[in-house]
Chains A and B, each alone.
Chain A
């Protein structure tokens, strides 16, 4: 196997010491980047260098580094999770960049996602949206036999497509209105498509949408940017389903 050609890049990174201080973009050269590295491993290299010099490393959220925990999320050259779509920041590899590139790295920005430090944002609004109805009300021990209620395979598959959401917040970062409609609709679809979630469809749609708005997320104006950046390729058709559920719930409520 041939040795890969190493890259030299310049990172233009958003630095902000804490939530209350102003931030700015700062340039950092990184040399000798192996193209097989993940984007976050490249940031590790940068940070180790900064630590060795006694400087504060760049704070960024990350955890599983395999695209499932939803902890990481950076806006890279203006696009949430980087250039490709269908993947998280931790899955992005440096082979996607060229020698000499200047790469701008910013946090996910939205009024409902305040920056905590550098590239870390507060996404706890998502938890509060789930608290407003993103569950089936079943206590431990109440459940009937798992095969007592049949679920058509197609419904289970569709529910799984929506349930794949990792709550990373890229949809919010990409939306010109900073809406969290893709996130909210994914949960409403996931549970609404299953018979087990049926009894609470109405209150769920109403409750979760009210929480969504109260958190300061904007409304959907069909830009479809969310779908393009979603690492799990959640479809905007879920938003249409959310709207139907909400409409039905509101009419029935009258």
Chain B
């Protein structure tokens, strides 16, 4: 039984979005300036949404945590963005992009959403080029493409290893243009600390000015959250330091369902862990797998340096196990395969938790210059961090927490279970199922922002009666009081441990029991350990200073307090999903050759969790997934 209505339009798949756009109510251009919209987050989804909504005439306020909207973590995306342009004439189509994406997600996403994403993908590239995004070109001046994991063709557009940066700067420039036109107001260095509901609808936010410490109230007719993912729950991840779950977690506690929290992607190509001091793991773009070959020594415990290991004693395990996709298998498959060889004692480097990504053959074949042109900045980054030159010795890589497919549940309109709260990009759960393919995050963020929310938000405004609300309303007053009380509580503990210390402990629990492989016994351990850590936090955390000034320790402690709650929900979700699918690998459920074994009979659904109050178990709701256009099958990349 469906308890959640996805509001997916009826009719044939390829007609749904057109039909829906026709059926959505419109807002008269003269009336659009009467609507205020709050956009929280300024990454690809947030900036694209804010700029596009402002162009339509809405009054937009953008809130970002960094000192400028241009610094949101989308900027760190490296490899590229997918689109179904089929410029290389190699067999691509909207349908194939849709098919690859739904298969890549191991059939745990909504058909209609993914098909729409594939449909709008081409318009994204057009828009970005017009903004001045300097995508890679061929000598004739046409756009160049490359391949990414999970696809057997080249559909990825890129700007060296800085695609996310260039796309974000495009969206940011559109945002700055609207700021100059006074249609957008940017509030930088702000952190959302509460969502405000009036008459059950999202009507505003309470945030903290991170410089003055002042608590601010902002009202609007709708709130759009595009606040990214929550991989920092693992402490070490590829995410930026300020990436956090606070915005969506507060929304969750106000009634927004949290969908598939346990679908977290562990990215196969990252610089391995080295010491306890480490603050993050650095991603090396998946695009490197176009030209780099992944291998480990054939024999366990072989400690020779890589140049001393002859060809016959190397195991190019991805090419061996998956001959048709080779080094370009999807991320979940590549990450698990790396874990398997390291568990066999064949890992390399000082920790033996690493595999080689070797460019020797590509450099011989194409020349170092060509490789430098494609990946120069990534090679430099690797060199800076490890003090090893990847032109001369193979890179060492290992999987690291990266992207979260889970997020707030949204319907086809990208609206959460709270009316008037829309959620875009990585912050929602919508398009990637149990595993995201490379170069699809940028596509989804921009697709949601440029080409979905401008229509669906109009549909909401056109069909609801939304009067003005005042920030003096009791709901705002109460929300601010709650925020202030929480700040006071954090500052009052005056214990002995830093928030970072407790975050490291949480991360360790999450990585060990809810990382690449999960088991019932391990998850149960985590489920008892996390509440203990939370208790320890509130009894013994030390947050110095005051609330009414710059206080980075306070900011951080607040975010970690939320991670300590979310972590438990992730584990609970992983425990309840008694199957393996995509990145969610339960040791108990695997095929004879070690691949993820889905259980379509019992788990072909989205799990959407409802918060039911302090100390109460959350309730698990279902949205059944129906597949009318593709037939879920055992994924094979052999």
Question: Which residues of A pack against B, CB within 8 Å?
Answer: 1, 17-18, 34, 36-38, 40-42, 44-45, 47-48, 50-52, 54-57, 59, 61-71, 86-87, 91, 93, 95, 116-118, 120, 122-124, 126-127, 130-132, 134-147, 149-153, 156-157, 159-160, 163-164, 166-167, 190-191, 194, 196-197
When the two chains form their complex, are residues A153 and B279 in contact, meaning their CB atoms are under 8 A apart? Answer: no
Q: Is the Cβ of B279 less than 8 Å from the Cβ of A41?
A: yes
Is B277 positioned at the interface, with any CB of A under 8 Å from its CB?
Answer: yes
- Known contacts A71-B66, A163-B169; A143 and B126 CB within 8 A of each other: yes
In the assembled complex, 26 residue pairs joining A and B whose CB atoms fall closer than 8 Å, in A order, are: A34-B277, A38-B385, A41-B278, A41-B279, A42-B277, A48-B500, A54-B542, A64-B241, A66-B76, A66-B283, A68-B75, A68-B165, A70-B70, A86-B380, A131-B180, A137-B177, A140-B127, A141-B450, A144-B126, A147-B85, A150-B142, A151-B141, A153-B138, A159-B132, A159-B134, A163-B132
- With A18-B550, A95-B387, A146-B143 already in contact, the answer to whether A138 and B240 are too (CB < 8 A) is no
Interface on B for A, CB 8 Å cutoff? Answer: 48, 51-52, 55, 66-71, 73, 75-76, 85, 87, 122-123, 125-132, 134-143, 159-160, 162, 165-166, 169, 172-174, 176-177, 179-180, 186, 188, 211, 240-242, 274-275, 277-280, 282-283, 350, 380-381, 384-385, 387, 450-451, 454, 494, 496-498, 500-501, 542-545, 549-553
Chain B residues lying within 8 Å of A152, measured Cβ to Cβ, are 137, 141
The reply to whether A59 and B550 contact each other, CB–CB distance below 8 Å, is: yes
* Nearest opposing residue in chain A for B138, CB measure: A153
Inter-chain contacts of A116 with B (CB < 8 A): 211, 550
A54 to B495, CA, bound (A): 9
Scoring A117, A135, A159 by chain B CB atoms within 10 A of each residue's CB, the highest score goes to: A135
* CB neighbours of A56 from chain B (8 A): 544-545, 551, 553
Q: Which residue of B lies closest to A145 (CB)?
A: B126
Q: Which residues of A contact B501 (CB under 8 A)?
A: 48
Q: Considering the chains assembled together, what is the distance between the CA atoms of A126 and B67 in angstroms?
A: 10
Asked if A68 contacts B67 (CB within 8 A), the reply is: no
Let me know if A66 and B277 touch, CB within 8 A.
Answer: no
Write the nearest CB–CB distance from B390 to chain A, whole angstroms: 15
Q: A40-B279, A146-B126, A153-B138 known; A65 and B241 CB under 8 Å?
A: yes
What's the minimum C-beta distance from B585 to chain A, rounded to whole angstroms?
A: 27
Q: Which of B129, B176, B494 contacts A143 (CB 8 A)?
A: B129
> What are the 6 tightest A-B residue pairs by CB atom distance, in nearest-first order?
A150-B141, A135-B173, A143-B130, A143-B126, A117-B550, A131-B180
Measured in the bound complex, the distance between the Cα atoms of B358 and A104 in whole Å is 39
- Chain B contacts of A57 at CB under 8 A? 544, 552-553
Q: Is the CB of A167 within 8 A of B240?
A: no
Would you call A87 and B384 a contact (CB within 8 A)? yes
In addition to A138-B130, A196-B130, 17 A-B residue pairs with Cβ atoms within 8 Å of each other are A1-B350, A45-B277, A52-B498, A56-B545, A64-B241, A66-B282, A69-B76, A117-B211, A117-B550, A127-B68, A134-B176, A138-B127, A138-B131, A140-B48, A146-B129, A150-B141, A190-B132
Q: Tell me the smallest distance from the CB of A32 to a CB of chain B, in Å.
A: 10
Inter-chain contacts of B176 with A (CB < 8 A): 127, 130-131, 134-135
| Contact status B174-A123, CB under 8 Å | no
Q: Are B169 and A132 in contact (CB under 8 A)?
A: no
B131: min CB distance to chain A, Å:
5
Inter-subunit contact B143/A65 (CB<8 Å): no
- Say yes or no: A122 contacts B67, CB within 8 Å: yes
Closest to A194 in B: B132
Is A126 within 8 A of B166, CB to CB?
no
- Rounded to whole angstroms, the CA-CA distance of A191 and B172 in the bound complex is 14
Whether the pair B142, A93 counts as a contact (CB closer than 8 A) is no
Query: In the complex, are the beta carbons of B129 and A68 less than 8 A apart?
Result: no
CB pair B132 A191 closer than 8 Å: yes
* Least CB separation from A65: chain B residue: B280
List the A side residues contacting B137 at CB < 8 Å. Answer: 151-153, 156-157
Contact of B67 among A34, A123, A137, A149 (CB under 8 A): A123
**A127 vs B278: C-alpha distance in the bound complex, in angstroms?**
32
Q: Is A123 in contact with B68, judged by CB distance below 8 angstroms? A: yes
- Residues of chain B within 8 A (CB-CB) of A138 are 127, 130-131, 174
Q: Using CB atoms, name the residue of chain A closest to B552.
A: A59
Question: Which residues of chain B are near A40, meaning CB under 8 Å?
Answer: 279
Min CB gap A148→B, angstroms: 8
Q: B87, B132, B282: which has the most chain A beta carbons within 10 Å?
A: B132
Q: Nearest Cβ in chain B — how far from A43, in angstroms?
A: 10
In the docked arrangement, what's the CA distance between A222 and B176, Å?
29
A134 to chain B, nearest CB (A): 6
**Please, how many angstroms separate the alpha-carbon atoms of A56 and B451 in the complex?**
45
State the Cβ distance, B540 to closest chain A Cβ, in Å: 11
By a CB distance below 8 angstroms, the chain B residues around A87 are 384
Distance (Å) between the CB of A71 and the closest chain B CB?
5
**A63–B544 CB distance below 8 A:** no
B437 to chain A, nearest CB (A): 21
Given contacts A146-B125, A152-B137, contact A52 B131 (CB under 8 A): no
CA A131 to CA B174, docked complex, whole Å: 9
Check B544 against A69 for contact (C-beta < 8 Å).
no
Interfacial chain B residues near A147, Cβ < 8 Å:
85, 87, 142-143
Residues on the B chain within 8 Å of A17, using CB: 549
Contacts of B275 in A (CB 8 A): 34, 36-37
Are A194 and B134 in touch, CB under 8 angstroms? yes
Nearest residue (CB) in A for B544 is A54
A140 CA / B542 CA spacing, docked (Å): 47
The chain B residue sitting closest to A61, CB to CB, is B67
Contact yes or no, A51 B381, CB < 8 A: no
Q: Is the CB of A65 within 8 A of B279?
A: yes
Report yes or no: B66 in contact with A66, Cβ–Cβ below 8 A.
no
What is the CA–CA distance of A66 and B125 in the complex, to the nearest angstrom?
26
| Chain B min CB distance to A52 (Å) | 6
Least distance between A15 CB and chain B CB atoms (Å): 12
Decide yes or no: A44 and B500 within 8 Å by CB, A64-B73, A71-B66 being known contacts: yes
Partner of B76, one of A64, A130, A139: A64
Enumerate chain A residues within 8 angstroms of B51, measured Cβ to Cβ. Answer: 140
Assembly CA distance A140 to B87 (angstroms): 22
Query: Shortest CB–CB separation between residue B493 and chain A, in angstroms?
Result: 11
Residue of A nearest to B74 (CB): A69
Return chain B residues, CB-CB under 8 Å to A126: 68
Taking each of B159, B240, B350, B451, which has the highest tally of chain A beta carbons within 10 Å of its own beta carbon? Answer: B240
Most buried by A among B70, B176, B277: B277
Q: Are B241 and A144 in contact (CB under 8 A)?
A: no
Q: Is the Cβ of A167 less than 8 Å from the Cβ of B70?
A: yes
B139 engages A160 (CB within 8 Å): no
Q: Is the CB of A69 within 8 A of B135?
A: no
Residues of A within 8 A of B451 (CB): 140-141
Residues of A within 8 A of B55 (CB): 139-140
| Nearest chain B residue, comparing its CB with the CB of A144 | B126
How distant is the Cα of A120 from the Cα of B549 in the complex, in angstroms?
13
Could you say which residues of chain B place their CB within 8 Å of the CB of A153? 137-139, 141
**Cβ-defined contact, A51 with B553, below 8 A:** yes
Q: Are B134 and A65 in contact (CB under 8 A)?
A: no
The CA of A197 and the CA of B132, in the complex, are separated in Å by: 7
Which residue of the partner chain, among B174, B380, B385, B498, contacts A135 with CB atoms under 8 Å?
B174
What residues of chain A lie closer than 8 Å to B274, measured between beta carbons? 36
With both beta carbons as reference points, the residue of chain A lying nearest to B384 in the complex is identified as A91
Q: How far is the CA of A70 from the CA of B69 in the complex (A)?
A: 11
A65 — which chain B residues lie within 8 A by C-beta? Answer: 240-241, 279-280, 282
CB contacts (< 8 Å) of B543 on chain A: these are 51
Query: Which residues of B lie under 8 Å from residue A51 when comparing CB positions?
Result: 498, 542-544, 553
Q: Which residues of A contact B380 (CB under 8 A)?
A: 86
* A71:B67 contact, CB within 8 angstroms: yes
Note all chain B residues with C-beta closer than 8 A to A164: 162, 165
Asked if residues A156 and B134 are in contact (CB atoms below 8 Å), the reply is yes
Chain A residues, CB < 8 A from B125: 146
Closest A residue to B387 by beta carbon equals A95
**In the bound complex, CA of A123 to CA of B450 (Å):** 28
B130 touches A142 (CB 8 A): yes
Q: Which residues of A contact B384 (CB under 8 A)?
A: 67, 87, 91, 93
Q: How far is it, in angstroms, between the C-alpha of A117 and the C-alpha of B551 when the chains are bound?
A: 10
